[in-house]
Chain A
Amino acid sequence: MVDAIEITDMHRRFGRTEALCGLNLHIPAGCVYGLMGRNGSGKSTALRILMGLVRPDRGRALVLGHDLSNATAGQRAQVSYVAQGQRLPGWMTADQLDTYCACFSARWDQSYLRELCRRWGIPRGLAVATLSGGTQRKLALALGLAARAQVLLLDEPAAGLDPVARRELLDALVEVLSDGRSETVLLCTHLVSDLERLAERVGVIDGGRLTLEGRLDDWQTRISRVQIVYPDVAMPTTTLLPRVLRSQREGLVQTAVVDGLDATILAALRAQPGLRVVQSAVSLEDIVIAVLGPSAVPEAAIPLTTPAFVET
């Protein structure tokens, strides 16, 4: 079965900035995928290339097997893109936008749009400029959904919204997912806490490429924070930790975010004389900060070696 989204070895430079350098991203059909990264990490560029709005310097971008920069209207109708801070024309009403957008979309579903407006409390006869930021964003999402596309690309849908409006948008997305449909959703957002609720797979993009990726529940099971207190400053940092995403040692205390710290390794650490070890959970946000932050360990991470016992 063909992947819904296939980005292979994508490169794109703007002037002297390398926006994308070798991005590889494969998203299976039906998956809800959360893509995280700093501002300027290349997320929006990747989406624009996927939609065929920007040409890559090198590499391939396919949606449902098609290159959208050179596709038929029918193939384009399979993808819906709600861009970052999508500004709808202030003077138009939802009903007018309904008529307008229907011209561009081969599968436009007017009754679904009306249903969503009713469910989400979006007035259909008022000019967009009179609606609150949250309502405008919900309308943009509703318009994106009414296109009945198989692939939905959402770029920062909740950016700039107050917490109540953000939660309403999240509720709306949960509802859409509960409708028993099977779209593929690629959600780019800084609001990592939203992804913890929605995403099945997640990836971190940094410096124009994907640096970490996996199933969200795998990450939550396997990745944890560990704090180790050494008996004295001269004692070398332990080599017992499995794959280390980030590690910092300050005097007696080492704090690390690690992948795969199970009960066996924990017991081995605690068996080391003088070490005090505390393991705790990490949120998705902590993981992303660990991977993107200054004390991140590069991909050639510390491998698991045999324990070095300290004789007392």
Chain B
Amino acid sequence: MPPLTFIVDPKGNAPVYRQIMDQIRYAIAGGTLVPGDQLPSIRELARDLVVNPMTVVKAYTELSHEGTVVLQHGRGAFVTATGRTLSVSAREQLLRKTLVQVAVEAVQLGIDAPTAARLLSEEIRNLKGTSHG
């Protein structure tokens, strides 16, 4: 299992289970986690983060519903080929939810759509650049 550091802030912007999900998704997008990798056990992660294990259970369950991980009874949680079990339109719907917040900030900062799109492309290129293979 690759070394993974999770940092959650219980006071933070989002519920802890959401922060855990985001960090796992980010690790997958960046290549730190690849299909087949096993996630830390619920007990281990709860202890490391000092949070209610139900929070970890919720994060893993939601990730399994969206197809990002698969839960194997008695063995643990494993990374799937990212989002393969979700249709293209379903994946786009998930991304759109995050993009609404980005759009609001862009408007507030006076950044136009083409510039925002360029920034997004750069960020995606940066991420892909750090993944192996």
Q: Does B12 contact A (CB under 8 A)?
A: yes
Q: Does B11 contact A (CB under 8 A)?
A: yes
Annotate B1-23 by CB proximity to A: 1 below 8 A, 0 otherwise: 00000000011111111100000
| Cross-chain contact A178 with B42 (CB below 8 angstroms) | yes
Task: State the CA gap A263–B101 with chains docked (Å).
Answer: 7
Please indicate the chain A residues that have their CB under 8 angstroms from the CB of B107 in the complex: 267, 270
Q: Does A8 contact B (CB under 8 A)?
A: no
Judged by DSSP, the binding face of B is: helix
Please indicate the chain B residues that have their CB under 8 angstroms from the CB of A266 in the complex: 104
Task: State the CA gap A193–B50 with chains docked (Å).
Answer: 11
A174-B46, A199-B52, A200-B52 in contact; A221/B15 too (CB < 8 A)?
yes
Please indicate the chain A residues that have their CB under 8 angstroms from the CB of B14 in the complex: 220-221, 281
| Cross-chain contact B52 with A193 (CB below 8 angstroms) | no
Task: State the CA gap A197–B8 with chains docked (Å).
Answer: 10
Residue from B10, B13, B108 with most neighbouring chain A CB atoms (10 Å): B10
| Cross-chain contact A178 with B16 (CB below 8 angstroms) | no
Task: State the CA gap A154–B131 with chains docked (Å).
Answer: 47
A197 in complex: contacting residue of B10, B18, B104, B108, CB < 8 Å: B10
B4–chain A nearest beta-carbon distance, Å: 19
Q: Does A170 contact B (CB under 8 A)?
A: yes
Q: Does A32 contact B (CB under 8 A)?
A: yes
A171-B47, A174-B46, A217-B17 in contact; A200/B11 too (CB < 8 A)?
no
B-to-A contact residues, CB < 8 Å: 10-18, 42-43, 46-47, 50-54, 58, 100-101, 104, 107-108
Enumerate the 3 nearest inter-chain pairs by beta-carbon distance, A residue then B residue, closest first. Answer: A196-B10, A217-B15, A283-B11
9 additional contacts, CB 8 Å, given A174-B46, A198-B51, A199-B52?
Answer: A174-B47, A177-B53, A178-B46, A193-B10, A193-B11, A196-B11, A221-B18, A270-B104, A283-B11
